[in-house]
Amino acid sequence: MAARRVTGPSGCSPEDVAVPGDVIIQGHGPFEPTVLGEDGAPMQIDLPVHDLVEAPHHADSYEGLNTPKKDPISSTSSSWFVPYCKDERLKPAVGMLFDTLDEVEEFYKTYAHESGFSNYYRGLREKIKNADAEIFVAQMERKKEANSAFFYDFVVDEHGKLLYIFWADATSRKNYSHFGDLVSVDATYSTNEYNMKFVPFTGVNHHMQSVCFGAAFIVNEKIESYEWLFRTFLLVMGGKAPRLIITDEDASMKSAIRTVLPNTIHRFCMWHILDKFPEKVGPPTNQDKQFWAALKTCVWDSETREEFETRWNAIIPAYGLESNGWTPKNYFKV
């Protein structure tokens, strides 16, 4: 007889959703399933777990919220995973003795593998991953319900895949109202599992401490992605643009800033510029300790523009960098 594991929606029993011919499996524990036949009487069957097909679950919906679509998730609370191990010698038993902890670990690893735990949890993790975007957006909505000053906005594609999401809480928005003249946007953080860019917006308060103005995830670094991001940032901040914005040397971001923030002064991050210096100046200059000492003094110890320019103009000819197209040009980007 074909069998399927039957679990009903919240508030329904398996019997409510079963159809004639179903074998209803109600788990009383991970090792003691009770099996009911067509007549409702208990019966014994010997089926490995992978032969049981889960009935579809009904995903909860959020009224008025266009959450990203997801594949159904197997509920971990509505039914039990039943280990199936053919080899009786590999099953745990009361009174088993082991000489070392390593033997205990090896025994249970072997048992877990043979019983299908590995495949079960690998599949469960994959299903949960597919739903993470919806869970994340739902969490944003709960935060907004708890505090109306919390803001978030997001975009999904035609398949329900999350493309962009930006959020800022009440504290972030208040910080921006006081310290929003300068904003640093760092898009160099990558999320390995989801292949999205994490983009925090930060500034500096009157105690010279970093403060957060908001954050975003974006699926790529195209011009349209950054244009959406900066327009959304302006929207949540009441249309007030920063006087100065600092970013890395990303061409798409530069273009988006020119379009969305035309009156904002745009400068590149000093850290990113200095990080490229060894590659751009090349050997033997990048191995010269005196060069690095002179550059450090020029960049960090100059207190006026005139002082900086005097030191910079001395470094360029001293180390033969006049013909280096990158070095003189990047002075004007600092």
Same domain, 76 and 162: no
> Tokens standing for 99?
């000489």
Domain count, the chain: 3
Same domain, 115 and 161: no
Strands in 205-329 per DSSP E: 210-218, 244-247, 265-268
The answer to the question of residue 61 being in a domain is yes
Are the CB atoms for 159 and 185 separated by under 8 Å? Answer: no
Write out pLDDT tens, residues 172-229: 999 999 999 999 998 877 765 678 899 999 999 999 999 999 999 999 999 999 999 9
Same domain, 173 and 262: yes
pTM for the complete prediction?
0.57
Q: What are phi and psi of 120, to 5 degrees?
A: -65, -50
- Structural domain range at position 247: 147-268
Same domain, 261 and 278: no
Same domain, 27 and 98: yes
pLDDT at residue 29, as a whole number: 39
CATH number of the domain residue 189 falls in: 3.30.420
Same domain, 88 and 183: no
Same domain, 196 and 250: yes
pLDDT at residue 125, as a whole number: 52
Same domain, 225 and 309: no
Q: Which of 246, 268, 290 is the last residue of a domain?
A: 268
User: Residue with structure tokens 């972030």?
Assistant: 172
Low-confidence ranges of the chain (pLDDT < 50): 1-11, 13-36, 44-80, 124, 128, 332-334
Q: Which of 78, 109, 137 is the last residue of a domain?
A: 137
Q: Which of 137, 162, 191 is the last residue of a domain?
A: 137
Same domain, 18 and 57: yes
The answer to the question of residue 142 being in a domain is no
User: Residue with structure tokens 């009156």?
Assistant: 263
pLDDT at residue 305, as a whole number: 87
Same domain, 117 and 161: no
Are the CB atoms for 28 and 35 separated by under 8 Å? Answer: no
